[in-house]
Amino acid sequence: MPAHALKRSTLLALCACVLVAQSMVAAINLLIPQLTASALHPSHTQVLWTVDAYVIVFAGLLIPAGALGDRYGRKGALLTGLALFAAGAATSALAPGPALLIAGRGLSGAGAALITPATMSILVQLAGPERRAQAMASWTLAMGLGGLAGNLGGGLVGQFLTWRALFAAMVPLAAVLAAVVAVTTPRTERSRLGSPDPVGTLLLTAGLVAVLFGIIEGPGHGWTSARILTAFGTGALLIAAFTVHARRSRAPLFDPRVFRSAGLRANTLGLATGFFGLFALFFVNSQYLQEVKGFGPALTGFAIVPLIVGMALVPKFAARWSARPRPVIGTGLALIGLGLLAASTADAHTPYALYACWLLVISAGTGLAMPALTLGVVMSLPSHRAGLGSGLGTSAREIGAALGVAVAGTALAGHADFADGMGPALRVVGTTVLAATALVVAGHRRSGSPARAARAAAGATAAAEEPVA
């Protein structure tokens, strides 16, 4: 397919879809006080599951959803995802009790799992080599803006409307996006690989869900509690079983041998690291601005807008340096870590203007690193497996995000109040980001030049796709 097949209308439609899907990860956080006081009278555990169900299903289904899009059609997967997303939102908006609200969140998460890899794979298929870096920068910007849009939308709804309005608004929005996609987005060539692997899909999805459950619920139940240890143990066993199954299957969901590529390992770790820091910041920021600075929900949503600046402007420059990913990625992730350490010094007396400067540092780091990391994951696999590459990358993001919130929450739980715990929590997160950055840079050094990394990845992928006797 020629490079000019990627039209601006298609790019905007696909980026809008992923922005909306990502926005629902963050939006609910600003509605927790209103939801707790609502007529549903949810328990603390039910509130947690209302927040977490979307993320757990979203992240758990990303890899199989991406592979299904590759095999059966990415445009069809995207339209199906938008339909599931809208159905889940309608279920949540009309829920008479917490159980149906949680079920609706999970259904929307399944829709998001189809939407996100399909949008990236379509972009990879339509963009030629000379436009791929710019397309990935736009897609990554949409992912980042989704988190910000969720904060803004959740804050406005929390200030002026009811929590049901947030879910109700998603139904017509998804319908409009589906109509735009149907008109603007062409169908792309499908992968000719074998039939789907239901056993592998079940093992991998269940394993990821168990691990995510442990990460998200660890702060509440205690990391050494029987429930959390059982979740991690079950997840590890299921993922190990998937690995054995995939090595023996004639048509696996994907073969773990793709991770022989040092570049793929480094890029997935880098994506997880960036979102680890970013979502820890989202978690702390909302409480800092409301509880310590006294901002209302709407003002809290707008106060994180400085993060937009770097995410919007820096990728345009970073795309020019796509041939030299290691310094771009290393600098970007280091800026995220340093910005978090700077933000850890904030207290009730810190001027918002100074706090906004630290947000700008984190924003610039995100704008530098994320497009290069995203492109690195996609380029580590052949173009017909772009959905799988997107699933791997986005799974890394969501796992990193869940872990960032869990680590920040655990660090905060060890202090008497939020004001005392915010600084130590952000220092733990920032230090972890810097340590992981060193590993990511070292991984890129081992992978060598981009051409050498591409050859190694292609060899690993070819070996992974050989039929097993």
Q: Which residue, 235, 234, 283, is CA-closest to 410? A: 283
- 337-353 pLDDT, tens digit per residue, is 999 999 999 888 889 99
Sign of CA dihedral 401, 402, 405, 407: negative
Using DSSP's 3-state secondary structure scheme, residue 348 falls into coil
Burial 9-40 (b: 16+ CB within 10 A, else e): ebbebbbbbbbbbbbbbbbbbbbbebbbeeeb
Residue 307: pLDDT above 50? yes
Lowest-confidence pick of 354-368, 376-390, 392-406, 449-463: 449-463
Q: Which residue, 245, 241, 263, is CA-closest to 254? A: 245
Instruction: Look at the chain and count its residues.
Output: 469
The rounded mean pLDDT for the chain is 79
Q: How many other CB atoms sit within 10 Å of the CB of residue 417?
A: 10
- 47-103 pLDDT, tens digit per residue, is 777 877 888 788 778 778 877 777 778 888 899 999 999 999 999 999 888 889 999
- 9-40 pLDDT, tens digit per residue, is 888 888 899 898 888 887 887 777 777 777 88
Position 467 scores a pLDDT of 38
- State the burial class of residue 195 (Cβ atoms within 10 Å of its Cβ: 0-12, 13-18, 19+): exposed
Reported pTM: 0.74
Helix axes 74-93, 98-126, angle to 10 degrees: 160
d(CA 90, CA 71): 29
Both tokens assigned to 182: 């149907």
Contact 34, 124 (CB under 8 A): no
